[in-house]
Amino acid sequence: RKEVEQDPGPFNVPEGATVAFNCTYSNSASQSFFWYRQDCRKEPKLLMSVYSSGNEDGRFTAQLNRASQYISLLIRDSKLSDSATYLCAVNGRDDKIIFGKGTRLHILP
């Protein structure tokens, strides 16, 4: 099992819809979880940290499921500007942060 895995997508979602994607991780001892957003040909930017109790920021909700070892990102009322690649990041066995390869999201008008 890879340390961090994401469905590469693309997810094609109509504007206004709700979309969710997951990121699975293999290290049961992982403590740090993040979601990043990356626009085409730009750098990843931190979207939100994921806490044990979950995290919500406006239309974005991140959750952690330790039992099944995945984190999720839910986007409500999606906007055209949400189109991007979403990377998850988790601390690995050697304590370095491991990034997933990303899930591409296309919001359709």
Partner 1 sequence: DVKVTQSSRYLVKRTGEKVFLECVQDMDHENMFWYRQDPGLGLRLIYFSYDVKMKEKGDIPEGYSVSREKKERFSLILESASTNQTSMYLCASSIGGEGSSYNEQFFGPGTRLTVL
Residues that bind partner 1 (CB under 8 A): 31-32, 34, 41-46, 49, 87, 89, 91, 95-97, 99-102
Cβ-count burial 44-82 (b if 16+ within 10 Å, e if not):
beebbebeeeebeeeebbbbbeeeebbbbbebeebeeeb
Helix, strand and coil content of the chain, in percent to the nearest 5, comes to 5, 55, 45
Nearest CB to partner 1, comparing residues 78 and 91: 91
Q: Rounded to the nearest whole angstrom, what is the least distance from the CB of residue 8 to partner 1 in the complex? A: 8
Instruction: Provide, rounded to whole angstroms, the least separation between the CB of residue 109 and partner 1.
Output: 26
> Judged by CB, which is closer to partner 1: 76, or 99?
99
Q: Give whichever of 18 and 52 is closer to partner 1, judged by the CB atom.
A: 52
Of 47 and 107, nearer to partner 1 (C-beta) is 47
Residue 15: CB minimum distance to partner 1, A: 27
Nearest alpha carbon to residue 36 among 23, 49, 26, 24: 49
